[in-house]
Structure 1
Amino acid sequence: MGYIRWKPYVTAKQIQFAWTIFSQQLWKRSDDQLLSARQLLAEFTEQGKVDLLELPATEGVTILAFGLKRVNRDLRGKIVEIGVDATFSTNALNLELYSTLGEHDNAGFPLSYCFVSTASSIAPRKRLNAIHSWFAALKAKYGLSPQFVHTNKDTAEIGAAKKLWPASKHSICLWHLKRAVRERLAKNKLSTTPYDPTSAHSEFAFINTSFVPTTRADPSEFEGGVIDDVDPIGTLAEPVVGPNSLTIRLPGLTQRSLESPPTMPSSNTMDVDNNNTTSFAHLDTAPTKKPFVRLIVKDPITTPAIPADTTPPPRDRRTFCPEEHRVDIVAMMVRHYNAHPLIPGFSHPSPAGIRQWAVEQMYKYCERNDLPEVWAYLWGNWYRNGRWELWSRSVHPDIPVLKTTMIVESHWRRIKKDFLHHFHKPRIDLLCWILVEKLVPEYDRKLDVIMRPIARYRELPAWRKAFKREWRRCEKAQITNPDDTAYAPNPYKWVCTCRFFVESRFMNCKHLIQLVEPVPPIFFLEVSRRRTTPFWQHPSLIPLYEEPAAPRVPPVLAQIDAVDDGVNGEYGEGEERGDDEDDDLLNEEMSGIFDRTTFLEDMTHAADLCDWFSHALRYQIQYQDRRFLAHVQRYGRAFFQFASDCQDLERRTNSTRTTNPNTWETGSAHTMFFRTRPREVIREALGAPLTSAMEED
């Protein structure tokens, strides 16, 4: 006090330094940071807050791990998905901080933390073994055995998880996947991952063995930093017939047919190719066995009769991937990631069928745009056997709740922005004290609210607000044609074939939401997400119609997905149409020759029907039947939208405060032939009922 009395002007830095010195009694147990942190965690273990995990010591490897006792106790046996990630620059010893978060109610809860450093070790697979020992301790201590493990593309984390939980589905974060592909496509380096076209052709017959990069391969370029062992195939194996293929069996050729002189095929003949490398089918002349030949039929229009020049184009100033193709490739990979047998509309509803569909789409796109280096990179890192299973959802019978590791990234943000911004690389013991005493109690309280509910709903996960916002938006969205066969929404299984449903974070779309009765507000507080059909479950989800005996399979889906690259396909729901489609619509409507008598009868009948239905609708108001209103809104949505557009066109035409509508403006093709009424006619129409009423009085 005497010092402060004589020195009244104290700076903020001096106060912080004094606070640091005085607070050391809370977390500092020794000058050695690791020893002090271990002693501090031992004290927390005695207090019942954490469990200090004993991990095997390895020369040159520094590792310190502990588990959160209360969170693991409450969630024991309930963890289906976990997220694992590491962060840097959090402590003075530059140890990597790993964290394992368990998913519960679409939210992440920390299960354990681990400090690791392998800089001084020369042992092979040093980081993989260190992470594996940490996972093994969690499994032994808390019985942790998840079905889904979400990580980034770090092969040490992937290898450790697959080694300990071989039956679990590993899922690479979608955000990290997209970023890795974008960064590689943006580079101009032509040398890429080693590519074996023979091995690729042995899996898929449509892959041409001559479509290979012309540059030398880079053996060190593998996503994740670890070179995988690819088994070379010296001989050309027989291609595997996928579930999307059609096998045609024909009787084998006889000896007499062999003696006939060969003829030059004409342009109208069908080219038959057995393995895409030779133009002759296999002949079997054994008299004791009736031979059969498996044929792959090619399109005679696209297959030339005379072999084309296979000389590659000049490679001067060639880039790895032109900029105009990068967005399409990433978008295709996202669709391949989202595909699953539970969601119809992609291909054969099986993991093998989806993989064949995805590989063929990507390969045909690269082949058509002359991108052999891109195909070699994509095959070696994402689409070949052993890599496809790491990121595709289709290989597991269930669909996980998480798509990314954002629950872990959000956890790092809380640590760094809420606590560590006061310190610059604090000591290990101080960081452990912050995690246990400041951060973990908040998760304990939130988990206690979820696991032990009371009468009030409080501190619910943040995803429920976004879920409600998306649900309300889909409720109000317009469905142009409710009977469109391009989509097959099934509210009982809660699946739809539209693109929005597949890409949605919550697996919702307007087609499904408008097929169920309006939900009460409590629905958004209690609804739960499932990993199989139906994906959302709550007593308030009541479909408006009975479940059909057989699901409606839209025949147009096969045509949409039959496009080579999957990018320039049909327009989805809510997408804009081009000018060419408007011209086609105009020509189609102008092509007919209408009889005047038929026109008068049809138009008069339509007007009389509208008048009758308008009076009938007003009569229904007194009964307050919302079920009938739901049917009116569903089946009359297209007509009401058309009437509203015509009304808006007439209002804008007769208004003096707005610009006159353009004839060819976007979205006005369907109202092009609507003749708006002048103001005098509108005034007379509005005054006619009043005049007739006065005459009756």
Structure 2
Amino acid sequence: MSAQDLYLDILTVYPNTMDRAAARGVEKILGHTRQQYSTLGFTMPLFRVICEMAEVGEFHVDSTYKTNRTGHELFSIVASVNGIGFPIAYFLLRMNPINEPINSNDQSDPTNHTIASTDYTTTINTSNSPTPNIDNIPTTYTPTAKEIQEATRSQLIAGFFTRLCSRGLNPRFMFTDKDEGQIDAISQVFGDNAVRLCLWHLIRTVKLQLAKPKLSNPQYNINEAVNRFPFVSRQFQPTADRNGRRCENAGHREAIVVMMRKHYHMHSNILIEGEYFTSIEIHNRCAEEIYTFCVQHDLQDAWAYLYSRWYRDSWWNKWACSTRVPIPIGKTTMMIESQWKILKRDFLINSNRPRLDFLV
């Protein structure tokens, strides 16, 4: 029996699974199966109580795998209440293999794909999908099956968030890792200001990426960088030599991480060397500091990566505390990571990828 058939079997043969949970205050808000995907979303008993608490504004979202036999990705929303995490909603999502055909309501336009469900329809626009050369985006670009699937996944997550929003969820901050599907969904439903990237994942990602080999095409938009920061030189960009790592020296990688940790905490209401600076001034100072370090140590590819993925405006606003007036209490998604540890080591320790109704 395929995972899709098993999922349908659970929904039809065991329909009372959610009914039994409903008696305890669990509300099913989403449940669809289509050719491309299958979903199941529900809220926990404390959902409405916590959403009505004005002092609760920080929430965490994350996903994990290998929790069920059908291969569904499990998402959780955890509210931070006085430093204690309370799971308030769950979402199960399975994207079917990308080699299966994807139906489109408009075959003439490959950038528009529609997700149809019983009570809502979402149109996906993948026209902004990344291309090999971001300085020369072709006027007609056909997204790959994988890009379409990623866009579909993001819109399904956004659909789940929309259901939560309509039921009262209005986060001041929503912490997540660097999963772009989750980030896009948060921005779409709750606004760009709600996105907060986990500091632990930030540090981990930067260390890993700087230690990786240089890309054949570094995707560095030199024109954008020069226009944004006047101190950036057009001569300082990745060279034709693509051998080696982005940053060979481990000490240099650690120095960059230390600077980024400092940049993460800087804020307009906190003194910096005896002075107060605006949000824009802080951004410029931080970018110049890390750019100068890269210039001093000939780290062209490191700067190209750091600018493109962390210091350009669109990404800087997702992780730097200086971009918001209120300062969040949380810094990482460890609260929700702890939940996964409890789920897998305490509840599923003797059940290797159990049936979906058992997991629910």
Which structure has more RCO (C-alpha within 8 Å, separation ≥ 6)? 2
Q: Is the 8 A contact 1:34 1:428 kept in 2?
A: no
Amino acid at match of 1:44: A
Shift of 1:349: 2.1
Task: Name the CA distance, whole Å, in 2 between partners of 1:345 and 1:70.
Answer: 41
Alignment of 1:608-619 (within 5 A): none
Aligned residues between the structures: 302
Conserved 8 A contact 2:32-2:40: no
Answering whether residue 18 of structure 2 is matched by residue 41 of structure 1, we say yes
- Give the match for residue 118 of structure 2: none
Distance 1:120 1:76 in 2: 40
Residue pair 2:193, 2:324 contacting (<8 A) in 1 also: no
> What SS does the corresponding residue of 2:46 show, helix, strand or coil?
helix
Query: Counterparts of 2:177 and 2:155 in 1: how far apart (Å)?
Result: 18
Query: TM-score, normalization: structure 1?
Result: 0.42
Residue aligned with 1:82, SS:
strand
**Counterpart for residue 52 of structure 2:** 76
Match of 1:206 in 2: 231
Find 1:90's aligned residue among 67, 76, 92: 67
Q: Which residue of 1 aligns with 2:188?
A: 163
Which residue does the alignment assign to 1:394? 322
Aligned to 2:92: 115
State whether residues 149 and 168 of structure 1, in contact with CA within 8 Å, keep that contact through their aligned partners in structure 2: no
The answer to whether the 8 Å contact 2:214/2:301 transfers is no
CA deviation after TM superposition for structure 1 residue 49, in Å: 2.2
Q: 1:195-252: CA deviations, max 9, x gaps? A: 122211111111111111013xxxxxxxxxxxxxxxxxxxxxxxxxxxxxxxxxxxxx
How far has the Cα of 1:42 moved from its partner?
2.2
Distance apart, 1:179 and its partner CA = 0.8
Match of 1:406 among 306, 329, 334: 334
Cα–Cα, structure 1 residues 60 and 37, in superposed 2: closer, same or farther, change >3 Å? farther
How far, CA to CA, are the matches of 2:68 and 2:162 in structure 1? 25
Paired letter, 2:345 = K
1:272-351 → structure 2 map (5 Å cutoff): 318-321=244-247, 322-345=249-272, 348-351=276-279
RMSD, aligned α-carbons = 2.1
Q: What residue number does 1:417 align with? A: 345
Cα drift, residue 72 of structure 1: 2.9
Decide whether the 8 Å contact of 1:61 with 1:120 is kept in 2.
no
Residue in structure 2 matched with residue 185 of structure 1 by the alignment: 210
Equivalent pair of 1:64/1:115 in contact (CA under 8 Å): yes
Query: Counterparts of 2:8 and 2:157 in 1: how far apart (Å)?
Result: 27
Query: Offset of 1:400 from its aligned partner?
Result: 0.4
Structure 1 residues 204, 342: CA separation in 2 closer, same or farther (over 3 Å shift)? same
Report the AA paired with residue 166 of structure 2: A
Seen in structure 2, the aligned counterparts of structure 1 residues 100 and 370 have a Cα distance that, compared at 3 Å, is: same
Secondary structure at 2:332 match in 1: coil
Quote the offset at 1:120 in angstroms. 4.3
SS at match of 1:386: helix
Change (3 A) 1:385 1:70: closer
- Within 5 Å, which residues of 2 pair with 1:10-21? none
Contact 1:96 1:115 survives alignment (8 Å) = yes
**2:282 corresponds to which residue?**
354
- Which has the greater radius of gyration? 1
Match of 2:163 among 137, 140, 150: 137
Where 1:194 maps in the other structure, the secondary structure is: coil
Aligned to 1:104: 81
Change (3 A) 1:102 1:356: same
Please list the CA deviations of residues 511-563 of structure 1 after superposition, one character each: whole Å capped at 9, or x if unmatched.
xxxxxxxxxxxxxxxxxxxxxxxxxxxxxxxxxxxxxxxxxxxxxxxxxxxxx
TM-score of the aligned structures, taking structure 2 as reference length: 0.79
Measured after TM superposition, the shift of residue 74 of structure 1 is 4.5
Structure 2 residue aligned with 1:378, among 306, 327, 336? 306
Match of 2:40 among 64, 67, 77: 64
Unaligned stretches of 5+ residues in structure 2: 1-6, 103-112, 114-147
Point out where structure 1 has 5 or more consecutive residues left out of the alignment. 1-29, 216-314, 433-697
Question: Is the alpha carbon distance of 1:61 and 1:164 closer, same or farther for their aligned partners in structure 2, counting shifts above 3 Å?
Answer: same
Give me the identity figure in percent.
32
Pair 41,111 (structure 1): closer, same or farther in 2 beyond 3 Å: same
> How many Å separate the matches in 2 of 1:163 and 1:90?
28
SS in 2 for 1:193: coil
8 A contact 1:197–1:209 mirrored in 2: yes
| Contact preservation (8 Å) 2:294, 2:303 | yes
* Residue 221 (structure 2) aligned to one of 189, 192, 196: 196
Give the superposition deviation at 1:37.
5.6
How far does residue 109 in structure 1 lie from its aligned partner after superposition? 0.5
Q: Distance in 2 between matches of 1:379 and 1:418?
A: 42
Q: Is the counterpart of residue 175 in structure 1 residue 175 in structure 2? A: no
Q: 1:148/1:316 Cα in 2 relative to 1: closer, same or farther (>3 Å)?
A: closer
Aligned amino acid, residue 261 of structure 2: V
**In structure 2, what residue type is equivalent to 1:69?**
P
1:52 aligns to 2:28 (yes or no): yes
Q: CA deviation at 1:343?
A: 1.3
Runs of 4+ in structure 1 over 6 Å off: none
| Residues in 1 aligned to 2:32 and 2:80: alpha-carbon distance in whole angstroms | 28
Worse overlay, 153-162 or 188-197: 188-197
Superposed displacement of residue 354, structure 1: 0.7
Pairing 1:367–2:295 present: yes
